[in-house]
Structure 1
Amino acid sequence: MAVSHCILNQNAVIHGWERAHGAFPFAVELLKKGIAFIQLPCPEFLALGGNRPPMTYQQYNELPDYRQKCQAMLEPIMQQLIAYQAQDYQYLGVIGINESPNCSLSGERGVLMEEFFALCKEAAVNTNFFEVPTWYSEENQGDLNEQLKIFLKRGVENE
């Protein structure tokens, strides 16, 4: 499964916007169940650093060569996905972050995810997805684990 970078590393988000210490709790639970992750890069952190200001999709989209940088960052990820599928590993899809300017999947898709899905289409890689809601945090996990179970079951059935 591919995951947005900050799912496993909250240190990459804008300071003060962290929603967990280290990784999101649901990620730790998925790892305990034997689900492996391919961590997507965080283009926001790599391009602008940890002290970057909050920016919108439009602002990232207008940065010179930003999409090309995202594409270049995603190339080794796609190579891994294709190699794992060639070895008959089950790829369940991607987990993104709702309302992220780069990792949103529903509504206005983030810049990085637009590029990721375009590459997946070219490579005929599964594009099932799940999105971490804006309300989710270490302190407020709500029914996310139940939602994830449904997503994972659907992913296994579609393989």
Structure 2
Amino acid sequence: MSHCILNQNAVIHGWERARGAFPFAIELLSRGIALIQLPCPEFLVLGGNRPPMSYEEYSELPDFRQKCQVMLQPMIQQIQAYQAENYHYLGVIGINESPNCSISGQRGVLMEEFFAKCQEAQLSTNYLEVPTWYSEQDQGAFHEQLQLFLERG
């Protein structure tokens, strides 16, 4: 899952939508579902005090895409190792409209690379996105979308 789902401290200061982790991540853990946290390339490359940037701006950063590829390789290896041990991989959870973690619409840079690596490794691409309106205070109908994701996985 996208890094900021488990660690809202990684998002741009003032854009946090929860204290610590999103509530649904805590629910997944309490149900015995293990989570693999993807790296946050925005935080790792530009730091916590970075300005808001668009998909285009991240795409144009020198070597940014290659850095994403390098960051993702251990994640793909982990998924493959777990599958070799007969664990069930449900898919990936991203962040809608994120310049790196969006999956539908304009796919984020990190997710473009993640899905390309999944295709190379012949891994499932089942996914769910956290909507832009989701917050600790307003979880809306996201719980139903989460249940459908878990059933599809």
CA offsets 1:56-106 (integer angstroms, 9 cap, x no match):
000000000000000000011011011111111000000000000000000
Q: Distance in 2 between matches of 1:112 and 1:146?
A: 26
The structural deviation recorded for 1:146 is 1.3
Alignment of 1:20-99 (within 5 A): 20-99=18-97
TM-score, reference length from structure 2:
0.99
CA offsets 1:106-149 (integer angstroms, 9 cap, x no match):
00000000000000000001100000000000010101111100
Query: Which residue in the other structure is 2:111 paired with?
Result: 113
Unmatched runs of 5 consecutive residues or more in structure 1: none
Q: Is 1:129 equivalent to 2:89 in the alignment?
A: no
CA-based RMSD: 0.4
CA offsets 1:25-83 (integer angstroms, 9 cap, x no match):
00000110111100000000000000000000000000000000000000110110111
Structure 2: which amino acid aligns with 1:28? I
Q: Distance in 1 between matches of 2:151 and 2:75?
A: 24
Structure 2: which amino acid aligns with 1:75? Q
**Match 1:9 to one of 1, 7, 10:** 7
Equivalenced residue count is 153
Structure 2: which amino acid aligns with 1:68? Q
TM-score, reference length from structure 1:
0.95
Q: Is 1:152 equivalent to 2:138 in the alignment?
A: no
Structure 1: which amino acid aligns with 2:20? G
Q: Distance in 2 between matches of 1:12 and 1:85?
A: 29
Which stretch shifts more, 56-65 or 141-150? 141-150
Q: Secondary structure at the match of 2:61?
A: coil
The alignment-based identity, stated in percent, is: 75
